[in-house]
Structure 1
Amino acid sequence: MGRVPLPTKKRIYCVLKSFMFTKTRDSILISGHQLINILHPTAQIIDFLMQLDMLAGVDVEVKL
């Protein structure tokens, strides 16, 4: 019941800020959610997934 956190894939990149000074660095974090496979979906699960309200910029694709 309730919300389930999706598994995320995190990538961290270290980027030099300056060409001359190697001690000044920035860290960039890119995180993305992975796919979820439902092996034996029922009609209720498919209806629930089709009616979900998502935030702007979030894409959900349901394949049968």
Structure 2
Amino acid sequence: MAKVTVSLDAQLVVEVMALADVGNPQDAVELVVRDYVERGHRTEARTAAREEALRAVDVKPRDPEG
């Protein structure tokens, strides 16, 4: 996999390291980025499932009234 080098504020990286409980700055930032991407995928999956359920309700014909 290709690698990318990014410069970040040292205080931000130290905070990420503390929150992730990781001693290596590279690993800490990578964990945060991977978590962010995974959360995005989970949100997309939940949204798609909800939209599909709404479509299924809209497609059903209405019962005749009265």
TM-score normalised per structure 2: 0.22
Q: Who wins on radius of gyration, i.e. which is larger?
A: 2
Of Structure 1 and Structure 2, the greater strand share is in 1
Higher RCO structure (Cα 8 Å, ≥6 apart): 1
TM-score normalised per structure 1: 0.22
Of Structure 1 and Structure 2, the greater helix share is in 2
